[in-house]
Amino acid sequence: MGRPVSAERRSDGRLRIRAAQLLHPVQRADRRRVPAPGATRIVRSVVANALTAIRLTLALPIAAALADSELLAPIPLAALLALAIASDYLDGLVARRTGKASARGMLFDHTTDCLFVTGGLTGAAIGGSITPLLPVLIPLAFGQYVVDSYVWFRQKQLRASVLGRWNGVLYFVPIVLITAARLPFPASFASLLQLVARVLGYLLVASTVASVIDRATTPFKPRGQNS
């Protein structure tokens, strides 16, 4: 079947040529051009980490702009923030396409998220837009998260909790609200956004403390109740 021309002869003595056999060399060449599954996973992992690195690079300028509104105009600030949030969504999406996110990639992603939101909320606190308690609590909670996962439970990757996962998402919201309040909206709407950001900051302080307590007491709960 691998030969382009069959040795079988027709009734008139001529060689019988099968069209399917003529395609075999082309099919083999196509298969050689398909990247190996392992190579595809490596490429996707590199792309995911590159997207995470974009967010890490943007952490400092966004934090500085939130601390001082004169450093960066509102629209460029909003564009940088949108890029950072898009990278957060896409890096996880790309990593999951490999079938399972790697432990190192997950640690890099979550560490970057912690640095990004801590920096952004610190800038917002310096600018007087949010309580300074929140950016103090976030790295403490993240440190507990890492120690709890790798030391206490001896996991090979980060061990997330439901409350901690939601906190991680919601930490971005005050940054978005404060940035949006600087855009050319009516003054009343901008004031409302700032108020919501401030209130949400206090709520996130409470939920972060609750998450820390929940994680600290998890080892003492019955195994079926561990979140």
Give CA–CA dist 75/183, Å, rounded: 7
Cite the residue boundaries of each domain of the chain with CATH code 1.20.120.
Answer: 37-225
> pLDDT at residue 33 above 90?
no
Share of the chain above pLDDT 70, in %: 77
pLDDT tens, residue by residue, 147-203? 888 777 677 677 778 898 999 999 999 999 999 999 999 999 999 999 999 999 999
User: What is the per-residue DSSP string for 170-217?
Assistant: HTHHHHHHHHHHTSS--HHHHHHHHHHHHHHHHHHHHHHHHHHHHHHH
- Binned at pLDDT 50, 70 and 90, residue 121 comes out as very high
- Token pair 């409470």 is found at 206
| Alpha-helix runs per DSSP H in 16-160 | 19-22, 24-33, 37-67, 74-96, 103-126, 133-147
The least confident of 36-45, 72-81, 214-223 is 36-45
Two tokens, residue 96: 């999951």
Task: Tell me the pLDDT band of 111, cut-offs 50, 70 and 90.
Answer: very high
Angle between helix axes 103-126 and 133-147 (nearest 10 degrees) is: 160
Tokens of 212: 């820390």
Q: 45 vs 28, which has greater pLDDT?
A: 45
Specify whether the CB–CB gap between 91 and 102 falls below 8 A. no
Q: Which CATH number fits domain 37-225: 3.30.750, 1.20.120, 3.40.50, 1.10.3470?
A: 1.20.120
Candidates 55, 35, 82; CA nearest to 180 is 82
Residue 42 — pLDDT band, cuts 50, 70, 90?
confident
Separation CA 210–CA 143 (nearest Å): 15
Please enumerate in sequence order all residues whose Cβ is within 8 A of that of 75, keeping only pairs 6 or more positions apart, or say none.
183
**pLDDT at residue 2 tops 70:** no
pLDDT the model gives residue 118: 98
Of residues 36 and 107, more confidently modeled? 107
Cα–Cα distances (Å) from 90 to 29, 45, 97, 156, in that order, read 33, 12, 11, 23
Tokens (6 digits) for 125: 């606190």
CA 171 to CA 36: how far, in whole Å?
39
pTM: 0.78
CA–CA distance, 129 with 112 (Å, rounded to integer): 23
What integer pLDDT is reported at residue 17 of this predicted model? 54
| Dihedral sign for Cα atoms in the order 71, 76, 57, 109 | positive
* 165 C-beta neighbours (distance < 10 Å), count: 12
Q: Please check the confidence at residue 98 and state whether its pLDDT lies above 90.
A: no
Place of tokens 């917002």: 124
